Amino acid sequence: MAAGALVTAGAALADAEARASIGLTAARVLRLSGDGTGARAAAMGGLAACREAAPVSPMVTGALLRELATLDWQSGCADDAIARAREAITVAREGHDGRARGEAAMALGTALRTAGRAEEAVPLYEEAARRFASDGALALLGKAHNNLGVCHYLTGRVEAAADAWREALRVAEITAERDEQVILLNNLGFMYLERGAHGLAERSLDEALALATDDATAGLRLGVLGNLADVRMQQGALAAARECLDAALALAAARGARGDVVENQRRLAELLLLESAPARAAETARGALVEAEALGLQREQAHLLRVRGLAKLRLGHVAHARRALEQATKTGALAPDSLDGQQLALALAELELVAGDPARAQTLVDAAVAALSRLGAAWHADQARLLVARVEAQAESLGPPVGTAVVERAVDLVTGGTSAEEIALHTVALALEACGAEHGTLFLEPTPAHDALRVSSTAPGIDAPHDDVGDFSQTVARRVLATGTSVCLQHVEDDAIVASAESVVAMHLRSVLCVAIPLEGRFGGLLYLDSRVHVGGRFQRALPTVERLASLVGMALDRMRLTDRVASQVGLLSVVSHELRSPLTTLLGFGELAAADSAPGGGPHAATLVGVVLEEGHRMRRLVDDVHALGRAWRFTLDKAGAMPAGLLLEGAQRRARPAAAARGVHLAIDIEPGLPAVFADTERVQQVLGNLIENAMRHSPEGGQVTLRVCRERFTGQVGERRALRFTVEDEGPGIAEADADAVFERFNRGSRPKGSGSGLGLSIAQSIIHAHGGRIWVESRQPGALFHFTLPLADRSPIAE
C-alpha cells in the first residue's frame, strides 16, 4: 500500500491507537523515500491521535516522538530534536520498556551529536548499547556502537572510536548485515587515513571493497573507492590511485550520482597536481566546479577552488591563483579548525611564498602545522613541514639573520640595565620576540655572593600558558645546566625523553628552546623558552640569536657583579681601617699610660691599664679573624661537602654551644623532624654557620631564656632552580629585630640598631656566603619578642634544579 493511501486510511479510522500506528508506519516510509514534509505530517497526525485518546501504547507514542526527533535533526532543527527525544525518554520510562528507553537514548544522542554536542552524546549511546545488549537487540546494538564510535571520533578519541567501530563490526558480522559492515570498515579506513596510518587504512578499505560487490552496496562502494584513492595518493602510488578513481567515476556516472562524480573529479584534479600536470588539473577542477555550483555543494566548491588555485599557482598565474583561493575562503564552507580548513591555509601559505612574502607565509604555515598536529593529521602535518622548509630557505635568501635587529637592541637594553632583574626582563622579552615562543624564563643559580634569580614573562597578547608563569620543562633545564649544550626542539616529539616528560605532557608543550648562560667562568644559568603550539622553523632560525643574547646577558651580569665586588671591597677597606683605628688608638693610649704608671714614681693602676690593652688587642684579633673568614667565604668551594644526617649537624652544634649556654643561663632545646634524609653539606662550614647563629641567639636571650634548634622539610614548589631541601631554624626569646634592620642584617659590619655585645658585624655575612655556596638560602623572621634565623640546605641526592 502506498504511503499516501496509508495516511488516508488511517485518518478514516475511529480507533485512535490504530490511527497512531498507521501514522507511524507512513512517517517511516515517507522519510526513507525522501519526503520529509509528508513524513512530518504523518507523524504529527499519529501523535495527535495518541494525545486525543490517551492512554495509547507508550511504545507507539515513543516511536512517533523518536521519528519526529529524526526529522527535526535532519532538517537542522537541533533544539526541537533534543526536546522530542527527551520527551521520548520520559514516555519510555513510564512504560517500563528497556528497549524503548535505549532507542530514545540513542535518538537523544543523535540529536545532541548533530547539534555539535558529541561529548554529551557519549553516555547516551553507552546507555543504549547496554539496554540493547541486555534485550538481545543485536541490530540496534550495532547501531549504538557505530554512533558511539562517531562521537569518539568527533571528540578526538581515536582509539575509543576504533574500539567502538570494531565492536559494531563484530555485531554486524553476527547479524550478516553486509551494508553495515561496509559502513563500519569505511569509517575505520577514513579515520586511519586522516591520521596517516596508511597500512591500517588500506586494510580496512580493502575489506570493505571486498564486501561491497552487489547492487545493494553500490552506493557504499563509491565512498570506499574514493577513500582508497586518497590512501594511494598519500602513499605515492599514483597509478593505483588512478585505477580507484576511474572505477569510482564510472560507478557514479552509471548510478547518476552527480555529487559523487563531482567529489571524485576533485580527487582526480588533486592526482593531476601530484603527477605534475597543473594545466590538466586546473581544467578538471574548472569543469567540476560548474557542476558543484549547480548542485549547491558548497564544501566541494571550496575544495575545487583550492585545487584550481594551486594549479594556477604552479602554472605561474599568481593573480588567478589568489582570486581562486580568496573565493574558497569566502565560501566559509571549510571550518578554520578542521582538516579541510588547514588544507586551504597551506594553499594560501604557498601562494604568499610564491608572491614573495615569506613572513606572511611563515605565519600561515606555522599555524597550520600546529593545528594539524592538534588534529592528529600526521601525513598532512608532514607535508606542511616540507612547506616550512621551503619558506625558511626563501626567508634566509631574502634578508639578514632573524636576530640581527634583536641583538642590536639588546646591546643597548641589556648593557644599560641598572639591576640584574631589569637586565633579565629585557633579555626574556627580546628572546620571546626573536623566536616566537609564548613563555620565557631566565634563571641564575645562587653563588656565595648572590641569591638565585628567576624572571619569567609571556609574549605580548598571550595569557599565562601554564598554571604558574614560572613553570618550565624540568627535563630540558636539567640537561642544559648539566652539559651547557643548547636544546632546540621545534617539535618535542623529536626527542622521546622530552616528549614523555611529566612536565611537558602536563603543560601541553609542543616546542622548547633552552640555552646556557655563561657566568663567572661557568654555566651559571639558563634562558628557557617554550610554546604550546608548534613554532615551525622559528626556533631553529632564532637559536644563534638566543645564544648571543645568553652570552650578552652573561657578560653584562659579570661586569655588574665585578663592579659591585670592587665597590664592596673598597667599602670593606674603608670600614676595616676605621674599625682597626679605634682599638689601635686605645691600645696606644693605654699602653703609654701603663708605661707611665709602671715607671718609678708611677701610679697604682698599671694592672688595670694592661687589662684594657689586652681586651682591645683581643677585639682587634677577632676583627682580623672575621675579615679573613669573610675572604675565605667569598672563595668557598664544596670540595669537602658530602651527605650528612641533619640531626647530627644540630646535635653537634648543640654540644659545642652547651658550655657557653650554661655560663649565660640559657637553655638549648632541639627539635628534629623524624625520618629526614641527609643533606649535602660541608660539615665544618655548616657548623660555623650554626655556631654563629646560636652565639647571636644566646647573646640576645635573657637569662633563663631558651634557644631552640629545629630542622624540618622545606616546602617544594618545583619552580626553576628550586632544589628539594631541609630547613634549619635557630629561634631565641630576645627582643627581636627591628623591621628596619631585617633586610640589612646580612650586610657586612651591620650590627643592627640595637647592638648587644662586641661582635664585628661580619658573622651573618659570612654565614650567608657559606649557605649560598651550598645552593641554599638564609633569612630572618622577627616575632618581637624573639627572632628566627632560617637557612636551607639541599638534599644529598641533589640535582642542579627542581625535579
Structural domain boundaries of the chain?
404-556, 566-632, 642-794
Among residues 789, 773, 790, the alpha carbon closest in space to that of 452 is found at 773
pLDDT at 8: 47
Q: d(Cα 186, Cα 208) in Å, to the nearest integer?
A: 6
φ/ψ bin of 113: left (φ > 0), alpha (ψ from -120 to 50), beta (otherwise): alpha
Q: 137's torsion region: left (phi>0), alpha (psi -120 to 50) or beta? A: beta
List the grid coordinates of 640: 669537602
Q: Which fold has domain 642-794?
A: Heat Shock Protein 90 (3.30.565)
Q: How far apart are CA 430 and CA 409, in angstroms?
A: 8
**DSSP percent split of the chain into helix, strand, coil, nearest 5:** 65, 10, 25
CA 627 to each of CA 378, 697, 750: distance values in angstroms, whole numbers, following the listed order: 66, 22, 14
Which residues of the chain have a pLDDT value below 70? 1-15, 53-56, 392, 394-405, 413-417, 463-472, 534-537, 566-607, 609-639, 718-722, 740-744, 748-762, 798-803
Q: What is the pLDDT of residue 721?
A: 58
Which H/E stretch holds residue 239?
helix 238-255
SS3 state of residue 528? strand
CA distance 688 to 686: 5
Cell of 752: 643592627
Annotate 132-200 with three-state secondary structure. Answer: HHHHCCHHHHHHHHHHHHHHHHHCCCHHHHHHHHHHHHHHHHHHCCHHHHHHHHHHHHHHHHHCCCHHH
DSSP label of 508: T
**pLDDT confidence of residue 694:** 93
| CB count in 10 Å sphere of residue 389 | 12
Cβ 739 vs Cβ 787: under 8 Å: no
Q: Any idea what DSSP says for residue 747?
A: S
> Using an 8 Å Cβ cutoff, are 689 and 679 in contact?
no
- pLDDT confidence of residue 583: 65
Contact 443, 420 (CB under 8 A): no
Nearest to 422 by CA among 457, 449, 450: 457
Amino acid at 739: E
Count of CA atoms in the C-beta half-sphere (13 A) of 169: 20
Distance of CA 695 to the CA centre of its chain: 49
Q: Can you tell me which residue has the cell 634563571?
A: 443
Furthest-apart CA atoms within the chain: distance in Å: 152
Residues 6 or more apart whose Cβ sits within 8 Å of residue 710: 650, 670, 671, 672, 727, 728, 729, 731
Residue 380 burial class via C-beta count within 10 angstroms: exposed 0-12, middle 13-18, buried 19 and up: buried
What does the pLDDT read at residue 317?
Answer: 86
Give the pLDDT score at 598.
Answer: 59
3-state secondary structure 62-121: HHHHHHHHHHHHHCCCHHHHHHHHHHHHHHHHHCCCHHHHHHHHHHHHHHHHHCCCHHHH
The edge-to-edge listing of strands for the beta sheet with 667-672 is 667-672, 706-713, 725-732, 787-794, 778-782
Determine the Cα–Cα distance for residues 621 and 277; give it in Å rounded to an integer: 94
Query: Whose grid coordinates read 586494510?
Result: 203
User: How far apart (Å, rounded) are the C-alpha atoms in residues 734 and 757?
Assistant: 13
Sequential DSSP letters for 409-431: HHHHHHHT-SSHHHHHHHHHHHH
**Spatial separation of the C-alpha atoms in residues 227 and 500, rounded to whole Å:** 33
Write out the CATH class of domain 566-632.
Answer: mainly alpha
Homologous superfamily of domain range 404-556: GAF domain (3.30.450.40)
pLDDT at 250: 93
pLDDT tens for 331-349 read: 888 888 788 888 888 889 8
Whether the Cβ atoms of residue 594 and residue 609 lie closer than 8 Å to each other: yes
Alpha helices in 599-722 (DSSP H): 606-634, 646-664, 683-700
Question: In this predicted structure, what is the pLDDT of residue 516?
Answer: 92
Evaluate whether 566-632 and 642-794 have a shared fold: no
